[in-house]
Structure 1
Amino acid sequence: MRLSELYVHPLKSSRGNALESAAAGPRGLEHDREWLLVSPAGHFITGRTAPSLVRVVVEPGPSGARFTAPGREALAVEHASFKTPHDATVWKDLFSAWHGDAAADAWFTDYLGHPCRLLWLGKESQRAQKGGDGELSFADGYPYLLINRASLNELNAELAEPVTTRHFRANLVVDADFAWEEDEWKRVRVGEVEFEVTTPCSRCIFSTVDPELGARRADGEPMRTLLRTRALPEGICFGVNMRALNSGVVRVGDSVEVVESRFEF
């Protein structure tokens, strides 16, 4: 079994950047979900309510980032401009991040059509992981999301119009032998890094957003089919959430080894 695709989403809900390798640590892949859009009150904004965010492309750098979107001139920001503490809320987590670039706020407000502010997570996150030690980025709840291409293939066999790995916004895509075998994993090693599989990843309306068009599919797929085929105690699930147990580099083509399963056979 191999790692076949690797992604970071530098802005929460932006287009995923396909990588050949990435530094992995307890907080997540380097540059993953380190930027966040919020309302003036600090409530997070994602593709669930603003589907056009999936068409924003982010080029992260050591001192800032460059944002592009259809019909807009590029926006460049520097970390040094983000020096004002600002409350941020991601689901039930309330924590502090950094704000400070009025031009960035105006750029995204114009693009989305409603007031918003751009926040930077900072070199150190003020948000703690669920049920574990360490920092967390602006991700929904866990630092890593893995999906299995065999499971995607089985899902697509049920759909009139197939979906891609990009619909599920994973960090790691693996080519396993069997569909849904990721449900049974407890610990996996990808190249240099070992991961604990924490929970199945519950899905929402965001998976119905076409990553190329930035709009929801009229047929409600793949959620309609997942509701019928993947209703688990944790929700309507596809993929698994994980946390890293050590730091290292992961690379496309790395061997993926199941270190421990949840069930003994």
Structure 2
Amino acid sequence: MNKLYLSEINIYPIKSLGGMSLQSAQMEDRGLHYDRRWMLIDDEGTFITQRKHFELSQLQVNIAEGRLTINHKTRFNQNISFDLEEQTGANITVKIWDDISKGVEVSREVSDWFSNFMKIKVRLVKMAPTENRFVDPRYATDHEVVSFADGYPCLIIGQSSLNALNEKLAEPILMDRFRPNFVFTGGEPHLEDQFNSFSLGEIAFTAVKPCARCVLITIDQQTGIKGQEPLRTLAKYRTFNKKILFGQNLIHSGSGIISVGDELKVQTWKEGH
């Protein structure tokens, strides 16, 4: 088999907003440095995502010189920034799916900016530094922790998987619909389904669960417009046990730097490969 190489590293500092593409990144216990460390919540503390609020796709996040900046992709006068360490200090109970976690509001000013943008009252919270949100024990191997991501520290997809999908679509789509942390080149479509354990640099990964897909992938990340694809086409050939699967959720051990161009070395394959 041809060698596999890491071709993209992406982080999404604020859950469900635009991501950042990196050439190298630090792996930490919770996942990639800064990945999903902030999140929008409603009045009841429940997380807010593009699934209901398509307009979030139009907010681009950037981190530079110790500050996080949010820019609207087309309304260039609509932006705000804050210090990466900024927070009010008071813990807030937040809910992500079935998980209860802790966050700290960044500031009233930032929350008001988002509330004005979304036309509903929301708050932007940062994960409390002492908070341990655990990976689902059915899939964890050593009490792994996760950020405000849906459930796992990282997600990987092969470029071949997207290429195969695009061959079936009338209009090709970009990888950003699927919000992966890692993209690799080489191998056949959906080779990631067969990964059991592999390494990138000094970090050991285990592919523990296929990623079930929802309406979010039908939102064009460039325009914020929702359509029927690619969910409709994926349903025809990627449905397993009534779930549409695309990509693999990962847990890992170790910390260190991962870079684009690193070889992805598979140690063990799932049974049947």
TM-score normalized by structure 2? Answer: 0.91
Q: Identify the match of residue 140 of structure 1 among 144, 147, 150.
A: 150
Q: 1:129 matched to which residue of 2?
A: 135
| Residue-by-residue CA offset, 1:156-178 (whole Å, 9 max, x unaligned) | 11100111111100000011310
> Displacement of 1:126 after TM fit?
3.5
Distance 2:197 2:119 in 1: 43
- CA gap 1:60/1:97 in 2 versus in 1, 3 angstroms: same
- CA gap 1:205/1:96 in 2 versus in 1, 3 angstroms: same
- Matched to 1:89, the amino acid is K
1:185 aligns with 2:188: no
Q: 1:6 matched to which residue of 2?
A: 9
Which stretches in structure 1 are left out of the alignment for 5+ residues? none
1:76 aligns with 2:86: no
Q: Is the 8 A contact 2:238 2:245 kept in 1?
A: yes
**Count of aligned positions:** 263
> Which aligned pairs between 1:32-51 and structure 2 lie closer than 5 A?
32-51=35-54
> Displacement of 1:254 after TM fit?
0.5
> Displacement of 1:62 after TM fit?
7.5
> Displacement of 1:82 after TM fit?
3.0
> Displacement of 1:122 after TM fit?
3.1
- CA gap 1:61/1:123 in 2 versus in 1, 3 angstroms: farther
Query: How much identity, in percent, do the aligned residues show?
Result: 31
1:93 aligns with 2:103: no
Distance 2:12 2:189 in 1: 25
Q: 1:66 matched to which residue of 2?
A: 69
Q: 1:173 matched to which residue of 2?
A: 183
- CA gap 1:82/1:68 in 2 versus in 1, 3 angstroms: farther
Q: 1:204 matched to which residue of 2?
A: 214
- Tell me, what secondary structure is at the counterpart of 1:81? coil
Distance 2:148 2:175 in 1: 21
- CA gap 1:150/1:42 in 2 versus in 1, 3 angstroms: same
Distance 1:108 1:44 in 2: 14
Q: Is the 8 A contact 1:26 1:243 kept in 2?
A: no
- Matched to 2:118, the amino acid is L
Distance 2:66 2:19 in 1: 20
RMSD (Å), alpha carbons: 1.6
Distance 1:241 1:177 in 2: 18
> Displacement of 1:129 after TM fit?
1.8
> Which aligned pairs between 1:177-256 and structure 2 lie closer than 5 A?
177-217=187-227, 220-233=228-241, 235-256=243-264
TM-score normalized by structure 1? Answer: 0.94
Distance 1:143 1:44 in 2: 17
- Matched to 2:31, the amino acid is G
Q: Identify the match of residue 25 of structure 1 among 24, 28, 45.
A: 28
> Displacement of 1:234 after TM fit?
7.3
